[in-house]
Amino acid sequence: MTTAPEPAAAPLPRTPALVLRGQRFDAARPAVMAIINRTPDSFWSGNRHADLDSARRALDTAVERGADIVDVGGVRAGQEGASVNADEEVRRVVPFLEQARSAYPDLVLSLDTWRSEVARAAGEVGLDLVNDTWAGHDPALVEVAAEIGAGVVCSHTGGLPPRTDPVNMTYADDQGDDELAVLRDVLRTLRAGAEKACAAGIPAERVLIDPTLDFGKTTRHSLVVLRHTADIATLGFPILQALSRKDFVGETLDLPADDRLEGTLAATAIAAWLGATVFRAHDVRATRRVVDMVATIRGDRPPAQAVRGERRPPIEQELA
């Protein structure tokens, strides 16, 4: 009679910790990055905070619901919406960051910008992270991040300039396979961006890599890159996944932005299982619960309590 093989768990992808403002985020403590858009034209109507009081209320709510990082942006990512120059971007984001730092001294603050002059202005209020969603379009941005002591997010946009929506995007290389060519381009770009950040003097523990789904990608590209999150983990830097209510979710399920929460959370769970540890999200509470649950299923985080089915003393001992 043959014996059953000993059970063995498949190894799970892990990346180094992200350390910002003295806080450590890793597989055991995944981070939720709340999005606060200081714009009147964000693609999702639930996150438009052109008014500073509205932005401050959104900040309080995000912290109460479990945000570890707050990422503020002053310009809509896509090509729709008004043109915003650097001075206007500073006017939108810096007063908010000043209020956020005063209200929450230990909160990790991130700025979503591609402009070095905006990051320098924001650095005066104690900025922790520069979220460069346009892959080094301004080559001075990483130098400014190092100068002000902030970390940086290295992204992939397929070479597109800021506020450009993808049209007829294709990836091909000498290895041929178009489906995996996008992944190889993502890996090359993120590796180069992370190496440049480290060379600029930013410690590796403050460098995040973001495959940047939707940006410079078709829906099929984004789905390929998402399912290969474990390959991105091999680059050896913490991974940010910005999945929240994006078009690849909407096109996959044929749903508008208002109805993309469940699809977003499914993508979030997959990315967390495959090694991502930082999640940029509109829906903070739901994301917090999903990533904590996945971390516990993976074995990286203990359950908050575990009493079901445990041996308990007789009732008379409990009452004694």
pLDDT of residue 171: 92
- Residue 233, classed as helix, strand or coil, is helix
**Domains assigned to the chain:** 24-319 (3.20.20.20)
Alpha carbons 265 and 285: distance in angstroms, whole number: 11
Structure tokens that stand for 110 in this block: 């991130």
Per-residue pLDDT of the chain (320 residues; tens, 9 = 90+): 567 777 766 789 999 999 999 999 999 999 999 999 888 766 655 666 678 888 999 999 999 999 999 999 989 886 667 788 999 999 999 999 999 999 999 999 999 999 999 999 999 899 999 999 999 999 999 999 999 999 999 999 999 989 888 888 989 887 766 779 999 999 999 999 999 999 999 999 999 999 999 999 999 999 999 999 999 999 999 999 999 999 999 999 999 999 999 999 999 999 999 999 999 999 999 999 999 999 999 999 999 999 999 887 766 665 55
Work out the number of other CB atoms within 10 angstroms of the CB of residue 308.
6
| Residue 200 token pair | 């600029």
In terms of pTM, does the model score above 0.85?
A: yes
* Residues 181 and 171: beta-carbon distance below 8 Å: yes
> Which phi and psi angles does 20 have, rounded to 5°?
-140, 135
Other Cβ atoms closer than 10 A to 239: 25
- pLDDT on residue 302: 96
Q: In b/e form, how buried is each residue of 47-66, taking b as 16+ CB within 10 angstroms?
A: bbbeeeeebbebbeebbebb
CA distance 136 to 141: 7
How many CA atoms, within 13 angstroms, populate the side-chain half-sphere of residue 165?
11
Cα distance between residue 182 and residue 139, in whole Å: 23
- For residue 261, how many C-alpha atoms fall within 13 Å in the half-sphere facing its CB? 10
Helix (H, G, I), strand (E, B) or coil at 38: coil
Identity of the residue numbered 210: D
What is each CA distance from 178 to 67, 212, 218, 249, 279, in whole angstroms? 37, 18, 12, 21, 28
How confident is the model at residue 11, as a pLDDT?
86
Among candidates 56, 190, 70, which has minimal Cα distance to 129?
Answer: 70
Enclosing H/E stretch for 263: helix 261-273
Q: What's the length of the chain? A: 320
Residue from 261, 265, 262 nearest 294 by CA: 265
Q: Which H or E element spans position 226? A: helix 219-227
* Cα dist from 1 to 5, 7, 138, whole Å: 13, 18, 67
Residue carrying the six token digits 């230990």 = 106
Q: What is the CA radius of gyration of the chain?
A: 21
Q: According to the model, what pLDDT value does residue 3 have?
A: 74
Distance CA 4, CA 127 (A): 55
Q: What's the count of helices (H) and strands (E) in the chain, helices before strands?
A: 11, 10
Look at residue 252 and give its three-state secondary structure. helix
3-class secondary-structure state, position 73: strand
Residue found by looking up tokens 């709510």 in the block: 61
- The two structure tokens encoding residue 296: 């516990």
